[in-house]
Structure 1
Amino acid sequence: MTLSMNEVEATAKRAARGAGYSWGLAEEAGKATRWLCERDVDGCAALAVLLQAFDCAREADWSPLAEGSHWQAPGGNLCPLLAGAALSDHARDLQVGALVFGATLAPVLLLPFAASCAAQSQGIVSVGLPNARAVTDGDALAIDGVFPERAENMEIHMGGEIAAPAARRSRAAPGSDMLQILDRFARRTFAPATEQSRLSGAGAGLSDND
């Protein structure tokens, strides 16, 4: 089964929201997943891995805390969506020197945010892991090696060369098992609202929009 990129983005967005992310971060998840799929990277699988681990966890436990140029999460694993959003806001820091990220789950989801930094600086950004590296100028992406489900550490810095950019895709072909995981999370956003779900943030909340 293949999906259009619009379908990828919509499914990823709703799945992230169903897993407990705010709508703003869910939108970032949708855009990031689409960006990867357009560049022949299985963003759907990466997001499925992340959502199963995050599933309604406290964002504070997964958010980056900076100690100089080293970023890490108090709960042990950085969320690439939370860390990526922070990275985009600190793109200028890369002009000063490299940033080192501690243990990160689904690290390939950081690449669209690294691309955002490259676009802002009109340069090239490299993301290096022990056994893999990615380089982007904001549009093109080149990956050498395989990004794991979890990286113990990675370094993000300016510079690099895009020798063999990834092919562009107009449709994605996520694995059926990964797609089922995303669909399961996405279905949570369609559940009828109850008083408890309204109070916890799901559905329309306490406001009357009719």
Structure 2
Amino acid sequence: MKSLSEIDTTSKRASRAAGFSWGVSEEIGKSIRLLELFGLQGVKILNQYYQTKPNQKYENLSLINQKNTSEKNPYCPIILGISFLDQIKSIEKFKIIIFNKVAFPLLMIPFLSRSSEIIGKRVFIKFNNIEFLLNLNVNISSNILNKNCPLLAENVEVRILENEDSFSDEEWKSLYKLSEETFVEETDSLKEGAAGAGLTDND
């Protein structure tokens, strides 16, 4: 089994050989490592992407708006992902971001996962009946784990989720009330054993 370090290094070097700068290649290496860490087919999809790259033109999206439409060619997932990561502070205000025609969409997922960590909010992505929930770059939940991801997404919807409790106030109060049974009343013996108690002044 290949180590994550090997995956990172080989993906980076292959990306440089495929024409990306060393800086972008380093980002790709980190991203493929992340996909494989979370059980997604990063190496396989990156291979497929580089096999098509010499003969297929992809659009580079440098400035991300709320709605992004490519009239001809699908967006390059790597440049799109890097742009998303770089602009996440301004993108966050959109709440919902739409892209049409993204090639090899799995390759953009780790960049969005890292963006989730930067803003401290979960990010939800949906395309072709496939869903991803990115949790602050700690884990990636999806309904296609160990399955093939489509090589083209006609419509990609990205949602920035606001941080909310998953429980009601009543549920919290009930749990908190139970926790109060562990509280200990302060007694004279506890006061005497508290920090600094019992010290003698020899001066």
- TM-score w.r.t. structure 1 length? 0.68
CA shift digits 1:97-146 (9 cap, x unpaired):
21111211110111111111211111100111131000011211100145
TM-superposed deviation, 1:57 = 7.2
Aligned ranges 1:53-92 → 2 under 5 Å: 53-55=52-54, 61-64=58-61, 68-73=65-70, 76-92=73-89
Q: Does 1:144 align with 2:143?
A: yes
What fraction of aligned residue pairs are identical, expressed as a percent? 23
Indicate how the Cα distance of structure 1 residues 67 and 82 shifts in structure 2: closer, same or farther if over 3 A, else same.
closer
Q: Does 1:158 align with 2:156?
A: no
Letter in 1 for 2:68: W
1:91 is paired with a residue whose SS is helix
TM-superposed deviation, 1:75 = 5.3
Q: Distance in 1 between matches of 2:129 and 2:54?
A: 28
Q: Does 1:132 align with 2:130?
A: yes
Q: Distance in 1 between matches of 2:2 and 2:113?
A: 23
Runs of 4+ that moved beyond 3 A: 55-58, 65-68, 72-75
2:81 is paired with a residue whose SS is helix
Q: Distance in 1 between matches of 2:103 and 2:143?
A: 19
Unmatched tracts of structure 1, length 5 or more: 162-210
Q: Distance in 1 between matches of 2:45 and 2:23?
A: 19
CA shift digits 1:7-61 (9 cap, x unpaired):
1011111111111111111111111100000001110011111111223977xx5
Unmatched tracts of structure 2, length 5 or more: 164-203
Partner of 2:176: none
TM-superposed deviation, 1:72 = 4.0
RMSD: 2.3
Determine if contact 1:20/1:57 at 8 Å carries over to the other structure.
no
Letter in 1 for 2:78: L
Determine if contact 1:94/1:157 at 8 Å carries over to the other structure.
no
Determine if contact 2:98/2:155 at 8 Å carries over to the other structure.
yes
TM-superposed deviation, 1:151 = 0.8
1:153 is paired with a residue whose SS is strand
Letter in 1 for 2:160: M
Indicate how the Cα distance of structure 1 residues 160 and 132 shifts in structure 2: closer, same or farther if over 3 A, else same.
farther
Indicate how the Cα distance of structure 1 residues 53 and 74 shifts in structure 2: closer, same or farther if over 3 A, else same.
farther
- TM-score w.r.t. structure 2 length? 0.70
Determine if contact 2:112/2:123 at 8 Å carries over to the other structure.
yes
TM-superposed deviation, 1:62 = 2.4
Aligned ranges 1:31-110 → 2 under 5 Å: 31-55=30-54, 61-64=58-61, 68-73=65-70, 76-92=73-89, 93-110=91-108
Letter in 2 for 1:29: I
Highest CA radius of gyration, 1 or 2? 2
